[in-house]
């Protein structure tokens, strides 16, 4: 059985700060992507269409935001293991 070494308080605080900064950067990137998407012609057209037709566009935007967030967290670049 392996004995696990505990992290020091300083190390825990540094890890927490790093995680916070990554998530903050991801949220800012998502906000920027959302603002950029709102300026596109597709968004302008979708604004004028009924809700049912907008669903695919909304899902695509949400997927892009998740992708950006995963990349910013550093978890999106790992290949799937077989």
Mind listing the pLDDT tens digit for each residue in 58-76?
777 777 777 777 777 765 4
Residues across the chain: 82
Helix ranges (H only) for 1-82 are 9-38, 41-47, 51-73
Contact 62, 12 (CB under 8 A): no
- Locus of tokens 């995963």: 70
Q: How confident is the model at residue 82 (pLDDT cuts 50, 70, 90)?
A: very low
Of the listed ranges 7-11, 32-36, 72-76, the one predicted with least confidence: 72-76
């Amino acid at each position: 059985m392996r004995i696990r070494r505990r992290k020091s308080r300083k190390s825990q605080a540094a890890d927490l700060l790093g995680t916070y900064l990554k998530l903050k950067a991801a949220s800012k990137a998502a906000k920027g992507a959302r603002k950029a998407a709102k300026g596109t012609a597709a968004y302008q057209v979708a604004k004028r269409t009924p809700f049912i037709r907008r669903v695919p566009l909304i899902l695509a935007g949400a997927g892009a935001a998740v992708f950006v967030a995963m990349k910013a967290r550093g978890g999106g670049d790992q290949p799937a293991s077989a």
